[in-house]
Chains A and B, each alone.
Chain A
């Protein structure tokens, strides 16, 4: 399904069209069509898919596969390299005192990720605290407080307070000895201008070191535009992709990354606090392309 068998399907296309081992224009066209279908099925943004396939087509026509590499593997390698270019340089969270603000659409995993980040930093020996700035979702306060009990992070929130800026300002004194502060915020979307306005103000007040977009691996074509509006409102610095334990290929999340140009730091791989991993572009693309370890397969080390 989806990209699962991209590489075998490409080989099949190749075999169908020509028995010989050189690539002609028609073969490339046919392969590009397969690649497009596969990317679209994995919910990679349409424009991005078209851009990619243009680049792939250009390169396939102009470049020669190195000796010993079959043309179809070479095309796959190009696909891989172009996708890798989108993911940019991989970058990690800094293990140092800082303030992190989490933003994103409804129900993507922001609050759960706050818990995971706390566990991550506490294990690295940094004292960590939460500021409960989701003033909209029922029991967001209790959810974060429970996570503070589970992780040992310090908790600050004002129950019933509807102004997140006020909550943050009061947290400053309370959390002054805490090294890593994690600010949880409400879910919001680009159509809700009041909520976008709210997050812009909160961002100004918090002046965070990192503004992380929390995005779910199952989100579709909307991921790109939604990420862009949050980028405009808050100036994102990084992305965390959640729910990678499901079957979503995260093509939408990839499009969000392409749209914002910021690095992916971490991925969520389950409901539990320990289900949290450092992002590996290689593994991510392996999954998107249904190829296991693409670098080993393509010998591109």
Chain B
């Protein structure tokens, strides 16, 4: 059941006022079950308590309205303050990093599609030279979209490829360079060092972290610690379409200080949308 349905069902048919503590208990379980992390749930409930500190009892509509406000506030804090399309830099180099399978490559394809539709020119660096089929995957997207992909063979140096792509963009006066990298775990020191090297060589203007909306709160929390020494500037939350409950986005917005730029809502090229708090709230509360 989605967060929306659960909230809708909450004390249904009960028109009278209900004790504040009952709302707290119900919200606690509903939010947790929707993949909002424990810390974030506790934050939400504290805010809720503060809002109604003088009330013992509360109307259902009133309680839902104030929950909605708190959730919107959390999401608004994650709104980016810059517009990617209007950064005065050419080429704008964006590197994508993240844990294995979180949607880096698909995001690059979908973002290239979005940028191309806005009249921007793009080149992609196939700097995942590790995973079987990774180069073919990004090349497939490049061919479909009519976007140049700079690649070498499996096992070659990812930094060199990123560097070549940037040179390519400079020589042709292109707008964007998108660098795909191999998925990696924070615990893998060699791969982490390799990632730092790509960053050193390519000096990206921005680094985006991809996060899977299905990932557990613990994993997200750990990711924040793992990325302590790898600075990133923004987040893309993928696979929101698979998330019937839709709660993870709140933990991500609450736990990362970096803004969320895009949401992946499917595997099709048009299924990457700019981050939009109102859209998420509407989806949940109708």
Contact = CB atoms under 8 A, between A and B. Distances in A.
Nearest to B247: A221
Interface in A174-225: 189-192, 216-223, 225
Contact of B188 (A46, A112, A145, A245): A245
Nearest to B102: A107
B34 A221 contact: yes
B216 A220 contact: yes
A226 B213 CA distance: 14
- Interface core residue of A144, A189, A220, A223 (most chain B CB under 10 Å): A220
A106 B101 contact: yes
Given A46-B29, A106-B242, A2 B218 contact: yes
B146 interface: no
Do most interface residues of chain B lie in helix, strand or loop, or is the interface mixed? loop
B38 interface: yes
B245 A138 contact: no
A150 B103 CA distance: 24
Interface string B126-141: 0000111110110111
B187 A245 contact: yes
Nearest to A222: B214
Most buried by B among A106, A144, A218, A251: A218
Interface string B110-150: 00000000000000000000111110110111000000000
Nearest to A224: B33
Given A1-B221, A46-B29, A139-B140, A219 B215 contact: yes
A143 B216 contact: no
Contacts of B184: 271
A41 B217 contact: yes
A148 to B, nearest CB: 9
Contacts of B101: 106-109, 216
B231 to A, nearest CB: 20
Nearest to B28: A46
B100 A43 contact: no
B133 A107 contact: no
Contacts of B102: 107
Contacts of A248: 215-216, 218-219, 222
Given A107-B102, A191-B241, A247 B187 contact: yes
Given A46-B29, A138-B140, A219 B218 contact: no
Interface in B245-275: 245, 247-248, 267
B242 to A, nearest CB: 4
B239 interface: yes
Interface in B223-248: 226, 239, 241-245, 247-248
Contacts of B214: 105, 219-220, 222-223, 226
B216 A142 contact: no
B100 A243 contact: yes
Nearest to A50: B29
B175 interface: no
B104 to A, nearest CB: 10
A251 B186 contact: no
Given A138-B137, A139-B133, A150-B132, A107 B100 contact: yes
Interface SS of chain A: helix, strand, loop or mixed?
loop
Nearest to B226: A247
B100 A271 contact: yes
A222 B218 contact: no
A146 interface: yes
A230 B99 CA distance: 24
Contact of B216 (A111, A144, A219, A271): A219
Interface string A88-110: 00000000000000000111110
A125 interface: no
A137 to B, nearest CB: 8
Interface string A32-64: 000001001111011100000000000000000
A141 B136 CA distance: 9
Given A46-B32, A150-B132, A220-B216, A109 B100 contact: yes
29 contacts: A1-B221, A46-B33, A106-B239, A106-B242, A107-B101, A107-B212, A115-B132, A136-B267, A138-B137, A139-B140, A141-B133, A143-B131, A144-B132, A144-B133, A189-B239, A218-B215, A220-B216, A220-B217, A221-B33, A221-B216, A222-B242, A226-B214, A243-B99, A247-B185, A247-B226, A248-B222, A249-B218, A271-B131, A271-B183
Given A246-B185, A247-B218, 17 more contacts: A40-B38, A41-B218, A105-B214, A107-B102, A111-B132, A136-B267, A144-B133, A218-B99, A218-B219, A220-B219, A222-B244, A222-B245, A245-B187, A245-B188, A247-B185, A270-B185, A270-B188
Interface of B: 29, 32-35, 37-38, 99-103, 130-134, 136-137, 139-141, 154, 182-188, 212, 214-219, 221-222, 226, 239, 241-245, 247-248, 267
Interface of A: 1-2, 37, 40-43, 45-47, 105-109, 111-112, 115, 136-147, 150, 189-192, 216-223, 225-226, 243, 245-249, 251-252, 270-271
